Amino acid sequence: MLGFRIFDLTRRVDKSWINKFHAIPVANISDVMTRMSAGGASLRPMHAAGNLCGPAFTVRTRPGDNLMVHKAIAMAEPGDVIVVDAGGDLTNAIIGELMTSTAQKKGLAGIVINGAIRDVGVIGKGSFPVYAAGVTHRGPYKDGPGEINVPIGLGGMVIEPGDLIVGDDDGLLSIPYGDVERVYDAAAAKHQLEEQMMADIANDTLDISWIDAALLRLKCEVSRGTR
């Protein structure tokens, strides 16, 4: 039935790529993806610390209902990231301590909820990655409908099942399955460049000549004596 169906996850990014992406800041990945993709500024890390990286096990659910999220956690394999489009509604929590503990016990990589969660006192002290749009004490319903492993959208970002989900303190990003190698190569180069720039800052050797060159190219009027 359309809107109430379950599919298996048939593709996953190889673990070797996941280990590599763990070392790259999300901001660097975003830069090389032309800054055109993001999970939405409202989706924030609710856990104490720890980066997120793994294949997307997607869920679309009716706002305030977590039946399909329970099923997704039961189906997912170690290393998967449960990514839930709950419409961004904050009326009812989609997950809390019990579901988070179950996911962690199964070895999942993390959970993303485009909606609300609860039990943040516990979740906020742990290292298991949980991203959400908000918090409420009001619990969920368990009636459906919903879909598992279908394309979903979070904050304008389209996520296909099996795409690579990355997250850190700055937020979330989805890397299309077929673009993982190309994005990694560019992001790793960007990260290396920024590390060199940090060294130049520490040594007071950072080249800032590009600023005046940009102003000249853009025909900015600069008064004499301006530094």
Please state the residue numbers annotated as binding site for substrate: 96-99, 118
The answer to whether the beta carbons of residues 32 and 187 sit under 8 Å apart is yes
| Cis? peptide before 145, omega within 30° of 0 | yes
Beta bridge partners of 45: 131
Binding residues: 96-99, 118-119
Binding residues for Mg(2+): 119
In angstroms, rounded to a whole number, what is the distance separating the alpha carbons of residues 124 and 112?
14
Q: What is the largest CA-CA distance in the chain?
A: 71
CA-wise closest residue to 131 among 43, 37, 42: 43
The answer to whether the beta carbons of residues 139 and 111 sit under 8 Å apart is no
